[in-house]
Amino acid sequence: METATVLPDEARYNIAAVERDTGLSKDTLRVWERRYGFPTPVRDQHDERLYSTDQLEKLRLLRLLIDYGHRPGKIINQSNVELAQLIASRAPEQTAPPEIAALLELLFKHDADGLRNALLQALMKQGLLRFVTETVATLNHWIGEAWLAGKIAIFDEHLYSEQIQNILRNAIIAQPGRGSAPRVLLTSLPGEKHRIGLLMVEAVLVAEGGACVALGTETPVIDIKNAAPAYNVDVVALSFSSAFTQNAALAGLGELRALLPDSIEVWGGGGALARARKAPAGTLLLRSFDDMRYALERWRVEHAQR
């Protein structure tokens, strides 16, 4: 009879490794164990937690479902299989438009070079403005869907994000004329890490002849306050993806509005604000790229040389 040997890949992870790999903080891992009874890692000789591969996998599924809106307490005691079904079951089974489907197919096949070439080709054919407002916006949506349906992995999304960044930044640099007005400072608040949304806005801005001072993601409010006069901008624009709650986004806009002089406008846009009704006093909500183009036009009329 065979010995029931321990599987060679029965790897054990300490709490720091699990935090690193799942993005769940040590505090969260410990409080889940206390409250819900999962995960219950074994302990080493010094009573420190050692998590199994299986637990790590379940934690990743949980993280995914929680990001999508499930509550931890409701799902934490289901099995890995049930959780995977839950993820699979939410696909709305629509189909993407054919141009988009072709791009998605390249990502499914892990064809990095093919994807880059196809995106470049779409950019050339459509021009920057249409590429951003049609192709990239739609593609983002369907990639989100594919991810939820379990059709693509996290690393595929990472690859897509990198490639889109390469292409958008390339297009931004290559934009022929440098715009002059208005000068727009573009960034996001701490907690908002979505870079592609910012780059899309930057692309539309330069395509429309504005001048963009891009600070990337997660600039603390105080630093924005100091940067705006230093770079002599006319407008500060913030992007909030749906990772932000609507209230947090509105509060951030209002806080910034209070800190900046009246001569500088404050604009906000992105998924978190798409359904917001009322902007904080003195700020402007942009619910679409068309809104932004209109806002640029309005600014120019109001500040026309007399």
Partner DNA sequence: AAGCCAATTCTGTCCAGGACATAATGGAAA
Partner DNA sequence: TTTCCATTATGTCCTGGACAGAATTGGCTT
Q: Which residues sit at the interface with DNA, rule CB under 7 A?
A: 14-16, 25-28, 30-32, 34-35, 45-49, 66, 69, 71-74, 245, 247-248
- What lies within 8 Å, CB to CB, of 114 at 6+ separation is 106
State in angstroms the smallest separation of the CB of 41 from DNA. 7
The nearest distance, CB 34 to DNA, in angstroms, is 6
36 alpha-carbon distance from chain centroid: 30
Residue 149 near which of a copy of itself, DNA, none (CB within 5-8 Å, type-dependent): none
Q: List residues binding a copy of itself (CB under 8 A).
A: 9, 11, 16-17, 20-23, 56-57, 60, 110, 112-113, 116, 120, 153-155, 158-159, 161-162, 165-167, 169-170, 172-174, 178, 187, 189-191, 211, 213-216, 219-224, 226-227, 230-232, 248, 251-252, 255, 258-259
CB of 9 to a copy of itself, least distance (A): 7
Which C-beta is closer to a copy of itself: that of 36 or that of 231?
Answer: 231
Place of tokens 């490794």: 17
State which residue, 228 or 285, has the beta carbon closest to a copy of itself: 228
Nearer to a copy of itself by Cβ, of 110 and 298: the residue is 110
Least distance to DNA, CB of residue 289, Å: 26
Smallest distance from the beta carbon of 14 to DNA, in angstroms? 5
Partner touching 245 among DNA, a copy of itself, none, CB below 5 to 8 Å by kind = DNA
- CB nearer to a copy of itself: give 68 or 108: 108
Q: Quick one: 5 or 94, whose CB is closer to a copy of itself?
A: 5
Q: Name the binder of 262 from DNA, a copy of itself, none, CB < 5-8 A by kind.
A: none
Decide if 250 contacts 266 (C-beta within 8 A).
Answer: no
Least distance in angstroms from the C-beta of 138 to a copy of itself? 22
| Three-state SS annotation for the chain | CCCCCCCCCCCEECHHHHHHHHCCCHHHHHHHHHHHCCCCCEECCCCCEEEEHHHHHHHHHHHHHHHCCCCHHHHCCCCHHHHHHHHHHCCCCCCCCHHHHHHHHHHHCCCHHHHHHHHHHHHHHHHHHHHHHHHHHHHHHHHHHHHHCCCCCHHHHHHHHHHHHHHHHHHHHHCCCCCCCCEEEEECCCCCCCHHHHHHHHHHHHHCCCEEEECCCCCCHHHHHHHHHHCCCCEEEEECCCCCCHHHHHHHHHHHHHHCCCCCEEEEECHHHCCCCCCCCCEEEECCHHHHHHHHHHHHHHCCCC
Residue 223 touches which of a copy of itself, DNA, none (CB < 5 to 8 A by kind)?
a copy of itself
Residue type (1 letter), 138: T
What's the min distance (Å) between Cβ of 30 and a copy of itself? Answer: 13
Do the Cβ atoms of 189 and 252 come closer than 8 Å? Answer: yes
Judged by beta carbon, residue 26 or residue 110, the one nearer DNA is 26
**Residue 191 interacts with which of DNA, a copy of itself, none, CB < 5 to 8 Å by class:** a copy of itself
